[in-house]
Structure 1
Amino acid sequence: MIHWLKKWLVGYHRETEKTGTDRERIHTLQKGPLPRHVAIIMDGNGRWAKSRGMPRVAGHRAGMKTVRHITRAADDLGIEALTLYSFSTENWKRPKEEVNYLMGLPGEFLRTDLDELVARNIRVRMLGEEDQLPSHTRDAIMKFKEATRDNTGMILSFALNYGSRAEMIRAMHGIIDDVISGKLEKEAVDEEYFGRALYTADLPEPDLMIRTSGEVRISNFMLWQLAYSELWFTDVLWPDFTREMFFEAIDDFQRRSRRYGAV
């Protein structure tokens, strides 16, 4: 464990040295209002690979490295929650080879990153329908949850087999069942109650949503939760999205005036 930690620290310092002013940058950003919860649509892996004449899975492999860098950046800043849109309910339509590779990523991430996540006191969770996932994917997710269950730092959520419309329908079905059974009066159902029926019940709503790759849409991601989120889009493809770009998004967030419908 000590050998691994020394090896990781060397790699971390090399990463931060690339910016030259990493610590100063973090210190400056921490003086301003930080988003409690950042949600990211990680888009552009396939196009990144295609532009290099590589198979799409190569883009996903490169994208996983970006997941590592951005998780570190968010944790270093003191962000409370980071949610990454990893696999949508619509992504099952992709080629079988690509889907199989994506379903294997949680296991690969478990092997390469679990120790660091535990050392950083990060808690890992999943948002989405687990029952439809392959058994090896569910097993990796379960091991992540168990290993980080008692951690009290940043909550890292992977939206996997996730679709916001399906999430809301699932929540409504549960509420309807409670009303029919007499456990709940329909008049008691308000926005707060509905929010507690979603996967994100114990998370603050995202203050900032980032999407990479130049697409300017939400794509069935957290439709309820993003009602008053600040949206930040970039043309940069996810594998090329850097720690400094993440800081740029936070800096832009801090320059905005959030009025929640007020004047």
Structure 2
Amino acid sequence: MTESDILEAQTNAQRARTAPRHVALIMDGNGRWAAKRGLPRFEGHRRGVEALRRTVRAAIKLNIGYLTVYSFSAENWSRPREEVESLLTLLHRFIRNDLAELHASNVRVRVIGARADLAPDISDLLREAEQMTQANSGLTLVVAFNYGARQEIAAAARALAEMVAQGRLRPEEIDADAIARRLDTADIPDPDLIIRTSGEQRLSNFLLWQAAYAEFVFLPILWPDFDEAALSAAIAEYAHRDRRFGGLEAAARSAKTAS
């Protein structure tokens, strides 16, 4: 083994120790990207889908376990009808054109968000993506569609309240774990790193409960320009953070080592 091989192996080992298990993305800036170039907003969204393809491939390469993308929020329905229709068209295209590649790459697709009032063609499309890839064991791509964190928490609270009313649960049995088990992400680890593009610094009703101990990286670049280099830079920033989870540095490090 050459010195170069040894250095590469050490670098890969260090990356494995510091890489986040779960990265969540707020993909912001499609409209501004298009406006800067005198292009229609649809073109910005189309280029945003291309950035998503690059990012999924990069996440696989970087051995990220879970990648959650904020594709369509519960509040996005209030946008102009033409823009909503274009976003839904792109969702159709992404799943129809990319599902085979995702499946071949051992990617498992999960969808979080409310589905009760979705049009049947959208519900069927999301269900197809989940069912086709459910046995895959590589990257889990979590698509937050028609998703709102406040709505998610409220739904969990209603479910618990109904159990109390039915006598199946005592109020004193409701704790953080009880709530977490009734969220859309019950079987998904909390995000370690949340990245937002476009320079905005807010969560916009995204993973509010799950983000309790996440690290945040806010990037000035607009989403259509996001690529593997930007993802790697955000992960490098994450690797330098001291995650204490509310405790002291030494205690947190011991807890992480034990786990």
Same fold (TM over 0.5): yes
53, 65, 82: which one pairs with 1:80? Answer: 65
Structure 2 distance, partners of 1:25, 1:147, is 37
Q: Distance in 2 between matches of 1:118 and 1:63?
A: 21
Counterpart of 1:194 in structure 2 is 179
1:135 — aligned with what? Answer: 120
Q: Which of the numbers 227, 234, 259 marks the counterpart of 1:242?
A: 227
Q: How big is the shift at 1:259?
A: 0.4
Q: What do the CA deviations read for 1:68-122 (whole angstroms, capped 9, x no partner)?
A: 1111111111111110001111111111011011112222112221111111111
Q: Does structure 1 residue 162 correspond to structure 2 residue 147? A: yes
Supply the AA of the counterpart residue of 1:83: T
Corresponding position: 1:261 with 2:253: no
Indicate conservation of the 8 Å contact 1:104/1:137, yes or no: no
Secondary structure at the residue paired with 2:68?
strand
Partner of 1:171: 156
What letter is aligned with 2:142? S
Q: C-alpha separation between the residues in 1 aligned to 2:182 and 2:88?
A: 26
Change (3 A) 1:78 1:26: farther
In structure 2, what is the Cα distance between the partners aligned to 1:55 and 1:28?
44
Q: Which moved more, 1:101-110 or 1:140-149?
A: 101-110
Q: Displacement, 1:134?
A: 2.4
Mapping 1:117-132, distance limit 5 Å: 117-132=102-117
Normalising by structure 2, report the TM-score: 0.89
1:244 counterpart letter in structure 2 = A
Unaligned runs of 5+ in 1: 1-22
Inter-CA distance 26–96: structure 2 relative to 1 (3 Å threshold): farther
Which of 142, 149, 157 matches 2:134?
Answer: 149
Tell me the alpha carbon deviations over residues 199-230 of structure 1, each in whole angstroms, 9 at most, x when there is no partner.
00000000000000010111111111001100
Match of 1:6 in 2: none
Amino acid in the other structure paired with 1:243: E
Alignment of 1:108-123 (within 5 A): 108-123=93-108
CA contact (8 A) 1:103 1:134 kept: no
State yes or no: 1:96 paired with 2:85: no
Q: 1:215 aligns with which of 200, 204, 209?
A: 200
Q: C-alpha deviations, 1:13-41, integer Å up to 9, x for none?
A: xxxxxxxxxx9998366343221111110
Letter in 1 for 2:91: P
State the shift of 1:133 in Å.
Answer: 2.3
- Aligned-pair identity in percent equals 46
Which ranges of structure 2 fall in alignment gaps of 5 or more residues? 1-7, 249-259
8 Å contact from structure 1 (residues 26, 77) kept in 2 = no
Separation in structure 1 between the aligned mates of residue 216 and residue 9 of structure 2, nearest angstrom: 25
**Do the aligned residues in 2 keep the contact of 1:106 with 1:141 (CA within 8 Å)?**
no
- TM-superposition CA deviations, 1:102-157 (whole Å, max 9, x none): 11222211222111111111110111111222222222111101110111121101
Indicate the RMSD between aligned Cα atoms, in angstroms: 1.7
User: In the comparison of the two structures, how many residue pairs are matched?
Assistant: 241
Residue 5 of structure 1 is matched in structure 2 by none
SS in 2 for 1:32: helix
Correspondence for 1:47 among 28, 32, 35: 32
Indicate the residue corresponding to 2:212 in structure 1.
227
- 2:254 matched residue in structure 1: none
**3-state DSSP of counterpart to 1:256:** coil
Q: How does 1:54-69 map to 2 (within 5 A)?
A: 54-69=39-54
What is the CA–CA distance in structure 2 between the aligned matches of 1:177 and 1:54, rounded to whole Å? Answer: 50
- Counterpart CA distance in 2 for 1:138 and 1:111 is 14
| Local SS of the residue matching 2:17 | coil
